[in-house]
A and B are shown apart, each in its own frame.
Chain A
Amino acid sequence: MTRKMEIDGVEVAFSEGETVLEVAQRHEKEIPTLCYDPRLEPFGGCRLCIVELEGARNPVASCTTKATPGMVIRTTTDTIEAYRETLLEMVVGENREVDVSPLRGYAAGELADLRDKYDVSSTGITGAKSGTNKTDDNPFILRDYELCISCYRCVRVCAEQEGDHAINVMNRGFHTQITTEFDGLLKDSACTFCGQCIQTCPTGALADKKALRAVDAVGDAIPDKTRTICPYCGVGCSIDVLTKDERIIGIHPAMDGPANQGALCVKGQFAYDFVHHPDRLKTPLIRGEDGELHEASWEDALDKAAEGFRKVNAKHGRHSIYGVASGRAPSEAAYLMQKFIRVGFGTNYIDNCSRA
């Protein structure tokens, strides 16, 4: 049986268990949200996603309201938009700043985008600022709680997505403060520095310190993004590499990555800069008469590499040469390594590094 409801005067189908917000988004209705992350259980905290439900006395939060047959919903009435504007004014007025670097995190610009969309002035409602920054000497996660709007996305992503339960809430109401157990440092908590809190935060209150350190070098411009796969374990998480001026300056998890669906770990999130380390080999090296390795041209190095295999082959035969392929280079390298051994020497003297 198809289930039907009405959204903005149009009859639409929905499936059992869908929320009003999910149905509306599927039909390309633009409903503003701040506490919503599609990967997490609905929370209903920010109230921006309110809609009019026919028959209900007050607007309802569309993220926590399940769709039911015959429901009549209006997503964008003048009243609803006015409510949203007021809510946004209050949220914006509580914060030290709204325009933050896009390097702070994947969702860091959400509040600024909504402020612009609703043309909310930051001086509309001025009052006390909420949230107290926490000094934390960790190199990865900035805890700039003056920008916190108590949407609890960090608390929930840590619990629901990561299962780490490292982030908590202290106090209530205006004095609500995001913190960790015993209000200590992240490294003394259950935090694994996966960076998920940074990436879901809609205001940049929790921010990527490592990426922000690159701001001095590259300015505040929006970085380029390249979709690729994390270089570490075999899970194969999809990531977007942020680059500026030929430097990698940060990593965003790919929310639609088939293996990770937005999740990452500390290595994939933060351990990318080995690529630019000064230790990187930049030229070929050849061992000289003195027994030391010396820089060489590609032509000389390739000559020497080939010459060695030719000599050993001539002297000891084709079963004296062995190839080891990498588990971290792309498949093309492994394929050609086995082809090199099989075509070049007619043997199966080839392996990769999976046995140890």
Chain B
Amino acid sequence: MTDRKSFYLMTPALAWLTGLMVIPCLLILALAFFRRGTYGGIEYTFTLENIGLVFDPLYASIFLKSASIAGLSALIAVIVGYAAAYAIAAAPAKRQPILLFFAVLPFWSNYLVRTYAWIVLLNREGLIASIVHSLGYEGELPRMLYTESAVVIGLVYNYLPFVILACYAPLSRLNPEIAEASRDLGGSGWTTFRRVTLPMTAPGIATGFVFVFVLSIGNFVTPALLGGGQFQMIGNLVYAQFLTANDWPFGAALSMFLIAIMMGLLTLQTFATERASGARQEDT
């Protein structure tokens, strides 16, 4: 394809992204450097106050809390998702598309509906509780909904398909002869997995982990619904600055750091993937 042709083909997508995403995001970020008016408007005097406030122990602790919830969710999603992807890749070739189809099926329904479904399942008078009670258990169950675990469950559930797809891609491309060679050379099943399969599919794992982490750390719907508003994540804080505290400049400052974290991680992950695939090419 000529350069000119690819330029024309890319123009609509680039214009769309620039006009409707990059520019509005920059406008919001620019607000971080102005003052909030007494009644929530914006006073156009330059200040670094909002940026400084992000490092206030209160807000820094909310950042750390969000990172730990997102990290835990990403870790669980990677373990569960990798196992599922491994099983799918090991299934007969004919059955793989069907299994993949089921794995991504939840994606076809609305995020909010899927999250509400967990409320129906987990609440004190919910489906799980009524099943347990109908089996004869009389006592009170430990609280499941409106806990940190419920938030992690919701995040893992919602983003699991990303991990399955990200891990399935390298697993399915893996040449089975390599694993056979390892076994021929005396490697046990576990050693083969640990020394051969896992390193070769690491970029998929990294992609899955970063995706879940990035999507989770900024999420505000799941903590609001499954956390009962008791676990404030950074997304909730940004939401509150824009929609309840009417402090757009501080909301913008928080968003700026959130975006910086996400971009940093995605860049790292891209470099890592490139290096891994580069290394593999050199090997062959």
Q: Do A and B come from one complex?
A: no
Task: List B residues at the A interface (Cβ < 8 Å).
Answer: none
Interface residues of A (CB under 8 A from B): none
